[in-house]
Structure 1
Amino acid sequence: MKPLKIERIDTFAGHRGAIYALCQGHDSHVFFTAGSDGWVVAWDLQKPDVGKVIAQITGTIYAMVYDATSGILWVGQNFEGIHGILVEDQSRIFSIQIPHLAIYAMEIKHGHVWVGHQDGLITVIDQAAQVIKKRIKSGKSNIRSFCSLPHEEMAVGSSDGYIRIFSFDFSLKNAWLAHTKSIFALIFDASSASVASVGRDAYLNKWDLKGSKIGEGVPAHIYSINALVQSPCGRYFATGSMDKTIKIWEVESLKLLKVIDYARYGGHKNSINRLIWTSYQDLLVSASDDKNISVWKID
């Protein structure tokens, strides 16, 4: 395998606080960010550093997800509920009240929006009707991540270190202890029918869908791993950590291929909270506590 070449091609600035939420938009070159300042900002990789504030919400935003079928951005207002923002004209077309519950994770699957809260609570919302359909109790710890699986199943990662698999009827199908602390991100790798997981214990692990560990797992970072994404080609993972680094891994072997840091590549100066790996020129986008978004070209 040829060595990977890394180049930071842009830094987007404008947020007034840490960035905690990052998601892909309607086109591969469009993405959205949000965080502690309550701003929801749309960015275009074709127009560097020209962000557009499409919503201003009181409080911190930890999670949001874009519905490509309707053009609605679902935004979680912490301890308040969900707001639906029609991206085309920035109008707020609905609000779903979920008072007194933190919102840490969101995922859309088969007509439902899954919302993760504290204390093991999950709210399932009907995507079309925009009403609460189901409440699920998944352990006693905070729900920190979702991952869509085949056969209409959903993987859920929580602060007790467990991965739980729920069926299409919202019943618990399987559960296993995957990490010693919170699980912040999950990825389903279709090529191996496996789930990769990362979390506060700084390990990168792989599992089959029965809960058996694949390999030994990797002590991947010094501190908590907040983000995990897969390249469009499927061959690589990228992890982002509280230790201020991004690392690139081979999916099959979990071999470390590259470390992106401030000293060598002009990376982030603070914790990296979110990543997306876009299909637009295979650009990797990272968001950080340092209020900045960096764009990386990986050849």
Structure 2
Amino acid sequence: MASKIQVQKLATLTGHRDCVYALEKSGEEHIIFSAAGDGMVAAWDLTNPENGELIAKVTTSVYALYYLQERNLLLIGQNQEGIQVIDLANKSILKSVALPKTAIFDIQAIPELNKVYVALGNGSIAILALDTFELQTQIRKADQSVRCLAYNKHTNELAAGYSDNVVRIFDAESMEVKYELTTHTNSVFTVAYTPDGELLLTGGRDAHLRVWETTQEYKERGYTIAHMYTINHITFSPDGNYFATCSMDKSVKVWDAATFKLLKVIDKVRSAGHGTSVNKLFWSGHHNQLVSCSDDRTISVWDINF
């Protein structure tokens, strides 16, 4: 089965001077944003990937970016400082939102609810009004970091993975905890809903990829030991038929979303992959290209041909 997928490395994007932690979409399919430990936020054009364009430079490392399509704004999670809102049309800072002096691990906005959710290292989720970016409230359900967020528009639920090994499912409107998923044995670093909203995939430091049925009160369907070390991120292909995982074990893996069969391993030996931990993925609609970023300070662009 695995041999049916052809993977080719199209480009290696260099310019960041520290570990690259974040990848994010833009308003155009062929342009993506990246952010790193060097505080630099760059834009890359996949049609001409050699030269990144500096969008912003902040004073601390950046783990999280979020693009707001409706207003062409980029939210930058500036660790220890808060959120910078960048107006991309004129590359100016529209607003700086002060938050507790802690790491910012993830950002998720829901225009329908006029909310921005920010996952913080102090165990709380900060909620900002999307129209004004004013801090409305902070919801703290654990003493350890909130590492990742995902929104299910079909059920209006927000999934949050924590470093206390628990995935908490909130009603996105009221922020009441509806379910607590407790079978991970270590920090949960990534949560992702299937495009139809029927399954939640979770992964983290225990290297287990777990699958939960949202329609069955998040009953666990099963799990697989997906990597040798920490699963850092899960992302779905634009058509929803596949998903990819990346890991501290330096590899990227491509899976069939219907059968959960492993289809391809992208690593240094087989594909000239990354030399250290792969931190984040972005599966672009631009020629179905998969983008990965790493502690090795580079971003790789992969042509995935089914």
- Asked if 2 retains the 8 angstrom alpha-carbon contact of 1:112 and 1:127, the reply is yes
Q: CA deviation at 1:192?
A: 6.7
- Asked if 2 retains the 8 angstrom alpha-carbon contact of 1:163 and 1:178, the reply is no
Q: Are 1:228 and 2:234 matched, yes or no? A: yes
- Asked if 2 retains the 8 angstrom alpha-carbon contact of 1:202 and 1:219, the reply is yes
Task: Normalising by structure 1, report the TM-score.
Answer: 0.96
Partner residue in 1 for 2:304: 298
Give % identity. 36
- Structure 1 unaligned spans of 5+: none
2:71 is paired with a residue whose SS is: coil
Q: Are 1:133 and 2:136 matched, yes or no? A: yes
Give the Cα separation in 1 of the matches to 2:119 and 2:296. Answer: 25
- Structure 2 unaligned spans of 5+: none
Give the Cα separation in 2 of the matches to 1:146 and 1:66. Answer: 15
Q: Are 1:16 and 2:17 matched, yes or no? A: yes
Q: Are 1:208 and 2:213 matched, yes or no? A: yes
- Asked if 2 retains the 8 angstrom alpha-carbon contact of 1:186 and 1:195, the reply is yes
Give the Cα separation in 2 of the matches to 1:250 and 1:233. Answer: 12
Q: Of residues 95, 120, 124 in structure 1, which corresponds to 2:123? A: 120
Give the Cα separation in 2 of the matches to 1:170 and 1:178. Answer: 22
Q: CA deviation at 1:234?
A: 1.1
2:219 is paired with a residue whose SS is: coil
What letter is aligned with 1:6?
A: V
CA RMSD of aligned residues (A): 1.3
Number of equivalenced pairs: 298
- Asked if 1 retains the 8 angstrom alpha-carbon contact of 2:102 and 2:122, the reply is no
Larger mean CA deviation between 183-192 and 31-40 belongs to 183-192
- Asked if 1 retains the 8 angstrom alpha-carbon contact of 2:155 and 2:197, the reply is no
Partner residue in 2 for 1:257: 263
Cα 1:192–1:52 shift into 2, 3 Å: closer
Give the Cα separation in 1 of the matches to 2:196 and 2:117. Answer: 25
Cα 1:151–1:212 shift into 2, 3 Å: closer
What letter is aligned with 2:28?
A: D
What letter is aligned with 2:161?
A: G
Give the Cα separation in 2 of the matches to 1:99 and 1:134. Answer: 12
Q: Any idea what the Cα deviations from partners look like across 1:34-78, whole Å, max 9, x if unmatched?
A: 111000101111121221111110011111101011111000110
Poorly superposed stretches of 4+, deviation over 4 Å: none
Partner residue in 2 for 1:154: 158
1:279 is paired with a residue whose SS is: coil
Larger mean CA deviation between 232-241 and 182-191 belongs to 182-191
Cα 1:145–1:223 shift into 2, 3 Å: same
Q: Are 1:56 and 2:57 matched, yes or no? A: yes
1:263 is paired with a residue whose SS is: helix
Q: CA deviation at 1:278?
A: 0.8
